[in-house]
Structure formats: structure tokens, C-alpha cells
Structure 1
Amino acid sequence: MKTNIADIRRDYTKGGLRRRDLNENPLDQFRKWLDEAISSKVDEPTAVLIGTVSPEGRPSTRCVLLKELRDGQFVFYTNYESRKGSHLANNPYISLTFLWHQLERQVHVEGIAQKVSPQESDAYFRTRPYKSRIGARVSPQSHPIPNRGVIVKSFMQESLRYIGREVERPSNWGGYAVTPHRIEFWQGRESRLHDRFLYTLQADNTWTIERLAP
């Protein structure tokens, strides 16, 4: 039986968001919401949908994991030669969207991405599980491969090569730090009258806060 997806809906009743409850700094507000997502045992609380744009102006999105919040920046790691890496090399503007279904919340970020230092990438790479480090070395991320066996064979060969040795970070793998200039907080409400607040960075590095219509 065919499902009528137009009939799939539910009300949002978890709570509201008031201007007086917001931190003046959006990064502090984000940390608060992220901590609440973690303490509420939300599935994959650091998962974030990132949007980039090709040289032809075509958008592309995919999920990665947020790995650090530091100095007003959002940090994630990836293969620099992946599709997103090639997009960011051409156009550093990026969007990030966090969605926490269980809390009926979203956070949307717009900003500019820049590579973190090789030293920072090295430090994070060393914290990754051994197999993840090997995988980063052998995967030509986003590029076609003839079959899964090819990548599995490369993984096994690289694993043997690094027995008893420190797995080195490949030069085409590392972090991006996103400096935001717009951050929107969305809280679901009944009757689709959702609460939305937009922080916008000003020239003097202060933030304005506006309520948006749902």
C-alpha cells in the first residue's frame, strides 16, 4: 500500500524560546543547546549537515561530525580532495545545520571555512581510532572506484605497512574551522508557530538578535 507522505505530520510541544532566555553570544547559546542535546541522549548530537557550492553554482549537502568549538569557530575534519574540499577551495562560504529531532530544535549557521593548521590536524588525527586513520589514508573520498574490494585490499595493505608504527596523517586530510556570520536558532511550536531567532555579526564584531516569523 502506497503511503501518503502528505499526511505525515506531528505537533511540536517540547517548549518555546523567548528573547530573554537567549545568550548575547550565539556560540554560548549553541554550547548550551549542544550540551542539552548530549545530556538528553539525542542520537548523534554532533552530526551536522554542511552545504557547499560548486564552481557552477550548484549546491551540495552531506553530513559530517562537529569535532570542536573553539574561539568562536566550528571545526570538522575531512578529505581535502573530496567533493566538499574541492568546493571549499573554490568558494569558502559554507552552511551548517544541526537537527535535534527529540528536542524539536534546529540551528543553522552560515560562515566562511578555512583550513586549520597542519599541527592541529595532526593532533586530532592521532586521537582517531587506528582503523579510522588507516581508512583516511586509503580512501580517495568522493572519487569513483570499480568495486568495494579495491578499497578493502588497499586498507589491508596499508594496515600491514603500519604494524608497530604510528599511522601518519595524509597531507590531503585535515580540518576546517568555520567562522560564522549568521546563526539561527529554531524551536518547534504548536500550530507551526515556531520560535526563530537570528544572530547577525556586525562590523564591530558584536551580534544583533532578531525574531523571525515562522
Structure 2
Amino acid sequence: MADDPFALFDAWFAEARQSEPNDPNAMALATADADARPSVRMVLLKGHGPDGFVFYTNREGRKAADLHANPAAALLFHWKSIRRQIRVEGKVTLATEAESDAYFASRSRDSQLGAWASDQSRPLDARETFEARFEAKKAEFEGRDVPRPPFWGGYRVTPDRIEFWQDRAHRLHERRLFTRAGDGWTEGLLYP
């Protein structure tokens, strides 16, 4: 049994990458706005380690507004193929500008252009409007690198709780909870 939640995460994530048919790095991101109204959506994990779990998004959309008002979040990785899930809860901070630049540069050109064209989470009158904006950005950046938009970047969830859930027969599941204690972690079990 691993006593380091990040080492255990790495082991489970490696198994999921071998067995999940699509997006083993997909995670549900739960936030709450200033009025404590919850919202959840799927995002993609793009970096992780002892300093936290990183995802990237438009910083003017609904999730960003929630995180600005209430900088805490929960993540859920659910890997049906291996019958496991991991829950993460913690504080949220911005990823560095250098991290955001580096990840943005690694995206496909169309994904980069899409970041410029999208007013994420805001009303859209017709799909054609978005497609026209995409084509306009494509023309604007023709022949040169697409820079990262100033309104787009990463967030890091620094966990204070990480729970590992393993399916067992007859709903007698195994649940291991790691709770941050200073610079380390304490570990315990939870009833299924």
C-alpha cells in the first residue's frame, strides 16, 4: 500500500491510460459561485504532481467566475474500465504564466484559434457565428504563431483531501482517504 497519495495517483492513472478507451485524463470539476450554487463539468487534466492538479480554460467563463468568487474546487476521476475513482478537494490558484504559455503552445493550431474565437459559456445565437469568428481568427493569424490569449490560462487545484475508491463485490467497496497534515499526509479508511 502506498502512503503517498501522488504515487498512488500515478499508479492508478497509468492503469487508466492503458484501459480507458477515451480521455483517461477527463475529470469532473465541481465549483460553487459566490452564492454557494454548485456547478460541475468535465475538463482535462494537463499536469499533476505534489503541487496539485492542473487544467486550462478561458478565464472569463462561468467556471473562472466561480473560482474567482470561491477559490476551492473538487475533482473526480472516474475510470469505469478499472472500476476505480479518485476524488480530490482543495484550494485553487492560477497556474503560472510560463506554464500557461507552454501548454498553449503545445495545443493544435485549431485549438489555439478556437480559444481566441470562443466567448466560453456565454450565449451563442448560432453555430455559424462561432464558425465565422474561428475563420476570422484563422485569417488574422495566418503565417504566424498563435499567441496565448490574455484571458486564457491554467488553474491548479492543490489538494487537502484525496480519496481513492475501489469497486468491490456486493458494494463492499474500499475507500482510502488521504488528508493533508502540514507538509505530509495522514491516511485512513472510510466505510463504503
Aligned position for 2:109: 130
How far off is 1:130 after superposition? 0.3
1:27 matched to 2:2? The reply is no
The residue that corresponds to 1:91 in the other structure is 70
* Residues 57-72 of structure 1 aligned to structure 2 (within 5 Å): 57-72=36-51
Which runs of no fewer than 5 residues in structure 1 stay unpaired?
1-20
TM-fit CA distance, 1:24: 1.2
Sequence identity of aligned pairs in percent?
A: 43
8 A Cα contact 1:111 1:182, kept in partner: yes
Distance 1:190 1:120 in 2: 42
CA contact (8 A) 1:75 1:178 kept: yes
1:125-153 superposed Cα distances (whole Å, 9 cap, x missing partner): 00000000000011000000111111100
Residue from 179, 183, 190 that aligns with 1:205: 183
TM, length-normalised to structure 1: 0.87
CA–CA separation in structure 2 for the residues paired with 1:128 and 1:213: 42
1: CA distance, partners of 2:176 / 2:97: 36
Higher relative contact order (CA 8 A, sep 6+): 1
Query: Contact between 1:50 and 1:61, CA under 8 Å: does it hold in 2?
Result: yes
Query: Over the residues paired in the alignment, what is the CA RMSD in angstroms?
Result: 0.9
Residue among 39, 42, 57 paired with 1:78: 57
CA distance in structure 1 between the aligned counterparts of 2:163 and 2:47, rounded to whole angstroms: 19
- In structure 1, the residue matched to 2:32 is 53
Say whether the 8 Å CA contact 1:48–1:96 is kept in structure 2.
yes
Superposition deviation, residue 42 in structure 1: 4.2
Detail structure 1 runs of 4+ shifted over 3 Å in the superposition: none
Q: Which has the larger radius of gyration?
A: 1
Task: Report which stretch shifted further, 115-124 or 77-86.
Answer: 115-124
* 1:187 aligns to 2:166 (yes or no): yes
**Residue identity opposite 1:189 in structure 2:** R
C-alpha distance in 2, partners of 1:66/1:140?
Answer: 22
